[in-house]
Structure 1
Amino acid sequence: MTAASNNTMTVDTPAEVLDARPGSRLMWPVEAAASILLVLVVGLLLAGVISRYVLSLPIVWIDEAASISFLWLAMLGSAIAIDRNEHLRLTIFLGMIPERARDFVNALALLVVATVLLALIVPASQYVQDEWYVTSAALNIPMSFRASAIVVGLALMSVIAVGHAIRVATLANLAAAIAVIAALAAFGWLLSPLFLTLGYANIPIFLVGVVAVCLLLGVPIAFCFGIGTIAFISFSTHVPMIVLVGRIDEGMSSLILLSVPIFVLLGCVLDATGMGKAIVEFMASLLGHVKAGMSYVLLGSLFLVSGISGSKVSDMATVAPALFPEMKRRGHKPKEMIALLATGAAMADTVPPSIVLIVLGSVAGVSIAALFTSGFVIAMVLLLVLAVLARWKASGESMEGVHRAPFSVVWKTLLVSAPALVLPFLIRGAVGGGVATATEVSTIAVLYALVIGALFYGGIGAKKFYAMLVETAALSGAILLILGTASAMAWALTQTGFANRLAVYMTDLPGGWFSFMIVTIAVFMVLGCVLEGLPAIVLMAPIMFPIAARLGINDVHYSMVVVTAMNIGLMAPPIGIGFYIACKIGDVSPDEAMSAIWPYLGALLVGLLLIAAIPALSIAYL
């Protein structure tokens, strides 16, 4: 992810913030350790693939070693993300606050982060002690070696967050923020006997109200979930806090999630080597001469490039600079280009290797291979509806001076792009065909991309590669911490019995399963706007998927509806982060682009309703 806009959910890294990073020059040991761990995880998984498929001698301890390294990578990466201010947060409402008050709100947000971390350190230490009596099956070592990563990560993040608050906030604002947090904590403790009697009413108070307020204040989303769940458990239940730490660990530690940092790294390699640009140039030589041809190229490139990177941001950053100049020359309005770019990226998010699909498979227990196969077809349905709209929009496109590319040019661009074009089909074929898991394929894909990049696309220098490793660790840590805290919040929500009550209500809706689908579309479109994709899935999947199963809805079909609805919300202004990222990449004002995106979102909604109403589109070929 990159920085978006100052008025949406962002991963901010402005120069003035980076300059204020406390101890950033002292972070190099942490960054170096995270980089080594990332290389170690890739190396271990690659060794496992070779031993299993080439030598037919599986090494049983590799998964355990990779899991231990993975948790350390996630926690150190989260600390790096704190240092770089790269945790995802909603800032749309901060811009509406007067500047003087904004300084206090920023100090308060930093101290909320510190409060979450400090509240978890003691129970995390107890969790590590308990894990000492659990021995790993293959390595035969205490699991405390693994769980210690949580304590180290929390301690590092605490020091960084407090140091950052001291450095950027005034003493008066810090004192006021501390007073507010202390007063609210005392208020919650005093009223805890009342909260214990409220039952379901605690859900809107803590799991909705506290989280929403913190989200509006610009607290990073992982810590919004964290503070809401901590307050809920502390003031309205007798559940020990150590249980929360265990749920965070569980949410971050699924072996399926090992592929997340590796596909993030793959996206960085794609950007650095220019493999994505080669695909775009081939598509342009093939289709650029027809009416709406550049729109088709943009959509087709997003479709293909997404099969390599697994990241919407990487997709848009690769495609837009290569196509926008020629589209402008042909008379395309910048706002229409942004609208097509944003919705095209939303369309491509079901194309393997989608990190969203990997996380959904992990959380909801759905086959990754089935999701990858279905996602490819569903993306084609959405591609078709967007292409039809793009053709209608291109009625006034200027084709003056546009000629079909000579066969020699098409052939040359094909030869240049061929090594890159193989990669998305390798990923889809291997996972969809059940030959290898998404994690195994991700390691092969990274090795392939590095080798092909070095041989055909100029390679990557050592300094740049190190920077890519650090950036991958930071982004992966930010993602995985969201998954951990969202998992804890989802667990707290289900323990209230609310999920069962909701299931009874939903199954009795008039209209049966399709009414439930409409409710699902509405819920995930809203959550996609506000929470972004991954936390929305982790939070709601444990609740919604069992209801869908009761109604006889196939889990793969339901997954396609959920992901598509969420992506539409993600690109919907005025809050959706994807829309603002597209505007930033295309250098177009969000106010200008906002009026143009609605027809494209409408086209995606039409495609979504077709997907929801016709299960065969998702499951007929599984």
Structure 2
Amino acid sequence: MREATLNDVTSAPAGSVAYFAERFDRGLAALIEAVAALLVLVEIGVLLTGVVARYVFHAPIVWSDELASILFLWLSMLGAVVALRRGEHMRMTGMLGFAGPRTRALLETLAITVPVAFLGMILHPATDYAMEEQFIVTPALEISNAWRAAALPTGIALMLVAALTRLMRLRSPKLVGAAVALTAAVAGLFWLAGPVFKPLGQLNLIIFFVGVVAANVFAGVPIAFSFALATFGYLGLTTTTPMLVMVGRLDEGMSHLILLAVPLFIFLGLLIEMTGMARAMIQFLASLLGHVRGGLSYVLIGAMYLVSGISGSKIADMAAIAPVLFPEMKKRGAAPGDLVALLSATGAQTETIPPSIVLITIGSVTGVSIAALFAGGLLPAVVLGAALCAVVWWRYRHEDLSHVERTPKKEIARLAVVALPAILLPFVIRAAVVEGVATATEVSTIGIAYATLMGLLVYRQFDWRRITPMLVETASLTGAIIFIVGCATAMAWGLTQSGFSRDLARWMAGIPGGGYGFLAISIVAFIILGSVLEGIPAIVLFGPLLFPIAREAGVHEVHYAMVVIFAMGIGLFAPPFGVGYYGACAISKVHPDEGLKHIWGYVAALLIGLVVVAAVPWISTGFLPF
């Protein structure tokens, strides 16, 4: 969600400091966005070239993955800069609605000054880290690793500049001064209290990883910076660990090659909406079920299932479906609140459908096979979808469809032919992975090439003017996601080094009920974590800690992945804290209050479906290829 402080920025009078800051900000933003967009294009080109060279010409390019990895770190850091400037870093804003205007304005400004504090403190260690990396030579390209590592201090410095520029453009100098003074005062108090923290031992985990994180998250500070600041404070004030180590863990978290699939699938999601492929699928489904009571609601559930299998981005899914279905559903008398409630519920239901970004992330941080996760995620989503369909049937069993005409069979056949290329795309993607044509990272490039050709040759809908904004949007969302992964990785490492993982394993091993008791505790924990931290941060932070415990408890890792992803999704898309719910409201242009009385039936259905998936492991593992 965007940070509300963007609304507090105004055009400044000519000649003022804010005026020059605004001009500088626009010029710098144009340059960074252009470079970030170019990096997305180059990544697509490098990976697609690697696939063609290996599979078509049987001549693998040995340096393609290495080059892609180097460029990916630069893309992630520059994307994080774009996201910070636009206010698109993930943050929890639910509590801000309860604050008064003055308090809210102060908290919104703190959402800028707190990241400034962290960026200012971590810049020097990041620079030292990049200089240390110059003595390492990459194996394939045989160049200094400093070319890659330099992305970290460069991105941090640019984020610092972007944040300071936003502060200079705010309309209230007194508010900025108060936020800066408060941030400096709290940082100073923690520094002075350093000698007090060291003897506290494990109690510091609660102070920093619960207290500091919670205070920042609920105050509206972006989640990535909340994690990073807590980790920096814990390591700097309670241990002798050099901050170079934290930068190294940040680098490690952001450098998994599997995560390169994230920007490519985000771009693919935007591409299928732009080329009309999503609309073609929805129109075909609507022609089949439009005459049935609640038919368009069934279409919404089915369309989210199909589109999720292509885009991997929930925001892209919702943006592709809502504008097509909602006008007709409203004409038939559906309440806007029910529509947004169902849209939000399907967001949670389809979290496990490949190529879900959450699946890719969980595979990268836990070592679980991406191919196995892709195969295991399809049927569990059907179970939750069936539960949602049961609620739709009950609510719309008396719907009056006397004015709705049944679509002729010839028209259904025509729409089926039109939709066929779009419907085939999820199967093309999955077949490419299963048959070994491309890895889970590379397969997105095949999808992009396929969608481009279909848009140009079949659907004749390809707006070249939208490509650059789509590339910039891809870079921004990528930066927001991958920077969170890096910060959460550093925080998880800090928790592991403190001995917390051993204590957690010992406690979880003592839970009664064996594997099912462990699953029950995990469901409750991830629903809460999903609502507060959002999905990816929760997965990255606790996945590496809990998956080994699940194996010891006898729970299959793919089964456990499906359970925690659904639990996290329910927390993410359910009010009052779930950010996904408010994203659905924003896309649907429906006030959040209208959906509250409708959503709880769908949430109950999702919980029932989750219990079924947790109780029957075969649903998740029955179709695994090994």
Normalised to the residue count of structure 2, the TM-score between the two structures is 0.95
| Letter of the 1:568 counterpart | I
For residue 590 of structure 1, the aligned residue among 589, 592, 598 is 592
| Letter of the 1:595 counterpart | K
Q: How far 1:223 sits from its partner (Å)?
A: 0.7
For residue 228 of structure 1, the aligned residue among 217, 227, 230 is 230
Question: Contact (CA 8 Å) 2:213, 2:226: kept in 1 or not?
Answer: yes
| Equivalent residue, structure 1, for 2:339 | 337
| Equivalent residue, structure 1, for 2:506 | 504
Q: Is 1:395 the counterpart of 2:407 in the alignment?
A: no
For residue 82 of structure 2, the aligned residue among 80, 101, 110 is 80
Q: How far 1:354 sits from its partner (Å)?
A: 0.4
| Equivalent residue, structure 1, for 2:299 | 297
| Equivalent residue, structure 2, for 1:6 | none
Q: How does 1:504-523 map to 2 (within 5 A)?
A: 504-523=506-525
| Equivalent residue, structure 1, for 2:606 | 604
| Letter of the 2:187 counterpart | A
1:241-289 deviations in whole A, cap 9, x for unaligned? Answer: 0111011111111000010000010111112112101100000111212
1:2-44 deviations in whole A, cap 9, x for unaligned? Answer: x4xxxxxx56696665868841233211111111111111100
Q: 1:333 to 1:170 in 2, by over 3 A?
A: closer
| Equivalent residue, structure 2, for 1:461 | 463
| Letter of the 1:266 counterpart | L
Q: Aligned partners of 2:11, 2:375: CA distance in 1, in Å?
A: 45
Cα RMSD after superposing both structures: 1.7
Q: Is 1:95 the counterpart of 2:63 in the alignment?
A: no
- Helix, strand or coil for the counterpart of 1:418? helix
Q: Structure 1 vs Structure 2: percent identity of aligned residues?
A: 48
| Equivalent residue, structure 1, for 2:163 | 161
| Equivalent residue, structure 2, for 1:271 | 273
**Which deviates more, 147-156 or 196-205?**
196-205
| Letter of the 1:532 counterpart | E
| Equivalent residue, structure 1, for 2:541 | 539
**Which deviates more, 150-159 or 384-393?**
384-393
1:498-548 deviations in whole A, cap 9, x for unaligned? Answer: 111111111111111111111100111011111111111001101111111
| Equivalent residue, structure 2, for 1:109 | 111
Q: How does 1:389-428 map to 2 (within 5 A)?
A: 389-428=391-430
Q: Aligned partners of 1:19, 1:587: CA distance in 2, in Å?
A: 27
- Helix, strand or coil for the counterpart of 2:389? helix
Q: Aligned partners of 2:123, 2:291: CA distance in 1, in Å?
A: 61
Q: How far 1:431 sits from its partner (Å)?
A: 2.3
Q: 1:479 to 1:11 in 2, by over 3 A?
A: farther
Q: How far 1:190 sits from its partner (Å)?
A: 2.4
Q: Aligned partners of 1:111, 1:490: CA distance in 2, in Å?
A: 25
Q: Is 1:32 the counterpart of 2:34 in the alignment?
A: yes
Q: Is 1:445 the counterpart of 2:433 in the alignment?
A: no
- Helix, strand or coil for the counterpart of 1:218? coil
- Helix, strand or coil for the counterpart of 1:395? coil
Q: 1:138 to 1:279 in 2, by over 3 A?
A: same
- Helix, strand or coil for the counterpart of 1:132? helix
- Helix, strand or coil for the counterpart of 2:532? helix
| Letter of the 1:118 counterpart | G
Q: 1:286 to 1:518 in 2, by over 3 A?
A: same
Q: 1:257 to 1:19 in 2, by over 3 A?
A: farther
| Letter of the 1:194 counterpart | V
Q: 1:209 to 1:169 in 2, by over 3 A?
A: farther
- Helix, strand or coil for the counterpart of 1:86? coil
Question: Contact (CA 8 Å) 1:265, 1:468: kept in 2 or not?
Answer: yes
Q: Aligned partners of 2:94, 2:26: CA distance in 1, in Å?
A: 27
Question: Contact (CA 8 Å) 2:44, 2:264: kept in 1 or not?
Answer: yes
Q: Aligned partners of 1:63, 1:303: CA distance in 2, in Å?
A: 31
| Equivalent residue, structure 1, for 2:577 | 575
Q: 1:317 to 1:273 in 2, by over 3 A?
A: same
| Equivalent residue, structure 1, for 2:482 | 480
Q: How far 1:560 sits from its partner (Å)?
A: 0.2
| Equivalent residue, structure 2, for 1:620 | 622
| Equivalent residue, structure 1, for 2:327 | 325
| Letter of the 1:406 counterpart | P
- Helix, strand or coil for the counterpart of 1:570? helix
Q: Aligned partners of 2:307, 2:227: CA distance in 1, in Å?
A: 33
| Letter of the 1:189 counterpart | W
Q: Aligned partners of 2:381, 2:579: CA distance in 1, in Å?
A: 20
| Letter of the 2:99 counterpart | I
Question: Contact (CA 8 Å) 2:276, 2:461: kept in 1 or not?
Answer: no
| Equivalent residue, structure 1, for 2:18 | none
Question: Contact (CA 8 Å) 2:3, 2:108: kept in 1 or not?
Answer: no
Q: Aligned partners of 1:154, 1:177: CA distance in 2, in Å?
A: 21
| Equivalent residue, structure 1, for 2:53 | 51
For residue 44 of structure 2, the aligned residue among 23, 29, 42 is 42
Question: Contact (CA 8 Å) 1:77, 1:476: kept in 2 or not?
Answer: yes
1:261-318 deviations in whole A, cap 9, x for unaligned? Answer: 0001011111211210110000011121222221211111111111111111111121
Q: 1:340 to 1:95 in 2, by over 3 A?
A: closer
Q: Aligned partners of 1:267, 1:541: CA distance in 2, in Å?
A: 26
| Equivalent residue, structure 1, for 2:310 | 308
Q: How far 1:347 sits from its partner (Å)?
A: 0.9
Q: Aligned partners of 2:479, 2:258: CA distance in 1, in Å?
A: 15
For residue 374 of structure 1, the aligned residue among 363, 373, 376 is 376
Q: Aligned partners of 1:378, 1:395: CA distance in 2, in Å?
A: 26
Q: Aligned partners of 1:314, 1:386: CA distance in 2, in Å?
A: 21
Q: Aligned partners of 1:359, 1:174: CA distance in 2, in Å?
A: 37
For residue 143 of structure 1, the aligned residue among 142, 145, 148 is 145
Question: Contact (CA 8 Å) 1:369, 1:433: kept in 2 or not?
Answer: no
Question: Contact (CA 8 Å) 1:357, 1:371: kept in 2 or not?
Answer: yes
1:107-132 deviations in whole A, cap 9, x for unaligned? Answer: 32211111111111111111111111
Question: Contact (CA 8 Å) 1:316, 1:585: kept in 2 or not?
Answer: yes
Q: How far 1:321 sits from its partner (Å)?
A: 1.8
Q: Aligned partners of 1:296, 1:304: CA distance in 2, in Å?
A: 12
Q: Aligned partners of 2:583, 2:182: CA distance in 1, in Å?
A: 34
Question: Contact (CA 8 Å) 1:72, 1:149: kept in 2 or not?
Answer: yes
For residue 239 of structure 1, the aligned residue among 241, 253, 256 is 241
Q: Aligned partners of 1:147, 1:76: CA distance in 2, in Å?
A: 13
Q: Aligned partners of 1:512, 1:17: CA distance in 2, in Å?
A: 55
Q: Which sections of structure 1, spanning at least 5 residues, go unmatched?
A: 4-9
| Letter of the 1:378 counterpart | P
Q: How does 1:555-574 map to 2 (within 5 A)?
A: 555-574=557-576
Q: 1:592 to 1:367 in 2, by over 3 A?
A: same
Q: How far 1:556 sits from its partner (Å)?
A: 0.2
Q: Aligned partners of 2:328, 2:106: CA distance in 1, in Å?
A: 46
Q: Aligned partners of 2:482, 2:162: CA distance in 1, in Å?
A: 19
| Letter of the 1:386 counterpart | L
| Letter of the 2:82 counterpart | I
Q: How far 1:192 sits from its partner (Å)?
A: 1.6
1:369-417 deviations in whole A, cap 9, x for unaligned? Answer: 1111110111111111111221122112111122331111111111211
For residue 492 of structure 1, the aligned residue among 491, 494, 497 is 494
Question: Contact (CA 8 Å) 2:9, 2:169: kept in 1 or not?
Answer: no
